[in-house]
Amino acid sequence: MQAPFASLVAPEPVGASVRLRVLSLGAGVQSTTLALMATHGEIRPMPDCAIFADTGWEPPAVYRHLAWLMAPGVLAFPVHVVSAGNIRDDLLAEARGRRRASIPAYTRTAVPAGKERPLFPKPDDRIVGLRRSSDGEDSIGMIHRHCTADYKVVPIRRKVRELTGIAGWRSPSWPVAEQWIGISLDELVRIKPSMEDWQVNRWPLVERRMTRRDCLRWLERHGYPEPPKSACIGCPFHSDAAWRRLRDEEPEAWADAVLVDRAIRTGFRGIRGTLYLHRSAVPLELADLSDGADPGQLDLWPNECEGLCGV
Ligand code: SF4
């Protein structure tokens, strides 16, 4: 396993044992900047490839941006697209009681009358982090999430193992792959070392003390378009600003999020409450998305600690 935080942002050279340098491409602002900076020779050595893990439910703007990145002459290295299935379809299947595709959806559970400590005991084992609804009548929690692992971490790891020639259950106990992750300085909390002996993680934007704003400035300086926010259409980590953008700029994607939000209300195994995509735990089309409702544009992305979504 990789060393603790202090040594992470200036990683020890792993030298000749590394057979593959791979950039985890989310097709958002940070990973796009990382890929283009590497192409410009501003981050070295050049990665061998990038890998985009497709959940099948990114907004059209992300797929358009990905297509541009993959066009000849844009990046200096190939982009592999991998997938572990379509998260939207799997979510709808889970709402019908089949398989698990847990996203960090919000639960609303009625507080039993007369309970002095209405948040406890936890109503369901699959729920993490409880709070009271604004009217105090219900408790609101979040489903324990494994979507990033299932739809991003696992398919990327499978591809890296294939490209480095690691077969079967036996893996080298030394680093043979280096994974670049597009976390920026303002998202430092998302840094997480590799759990695999055969792979080290690297965060070149953090090494260069670059924030998301610095990335946008770099892209503008070099005449590149601003990338869209990369995340599943119905990701419950969206801020109200992101939901508004979806509603106002991608009406079809917004309609799809509303449809899925309605479809997941009940049916998840082991959940007694009702489920929602918006953090206020009300139907998405009724959620207050105004600035006043979310003055700080609550950023929930630090909860996505792998740093593979939203960058
Ligand atoms: S973007 Fe959100 S819903 Fe999609 S995989 Fe990441 S955390 Fe899960």
User: Which of 124, 139, 144, 138 has the alpha carbon at shortest distance from 271?
Assistant: 124
Mean pLDDT of the chain: 86
CA distance readout (Å), 79 to 51, 65, 69, 71: 6, 13, 8, 10
Smallest Cα–Cα separation from 64: which of 230, 232, 234? 230
Over the stretch 240-251, which tens digit does the pLDDT of each residue have? Answer: 999 999 999 999
pTM for this predicted structure: 0.88
301 within ligand 1 shell (Cβ under 6 A)? no
Percent above pLDDT 70 for the chain: 82
Beta strands in 171-222 (DSSP E): 177-181, 199-202
Q: Which residues of the chain have pLDDT under 50?
A: 4, 12, 116, 118, 120-121, 295-297
Nearest CA to ligand 1 atom 8: 147
The one-character DSSP state at 248 is: H
Is residue 94 within 8 A of residue 102, CB to CB? The reply is yes
Whether 237 contacts 300, CB under 8 Å = yes
Which of 100, 147, 308 should be mutated for ligand 1, with most atoms under 8 A from CB? 147
The pLDDT of residue 178 is 96
Burial of 1 (0-12, 13-18, 19+ CB in 10 A): exposed
The residues pairing with 177 across neighbouring beta strands, listed in sequence order, are 20, 199
Residue ranges and CATH numbers for the domains of the chain are 20-87+146-221 (3.40.50.620), 94-145+233-303 (no CATH)
Give nearest CA residue, ligand 1 atom 7.
148
53 in contact with ligand 1, CB cutoff 6 A? no
pLDDT digits (tens, 9 = 90+) for 18-69: 999 999 999 999 999 999 999 999 999 999 999 999 999 999 999 999 999 9
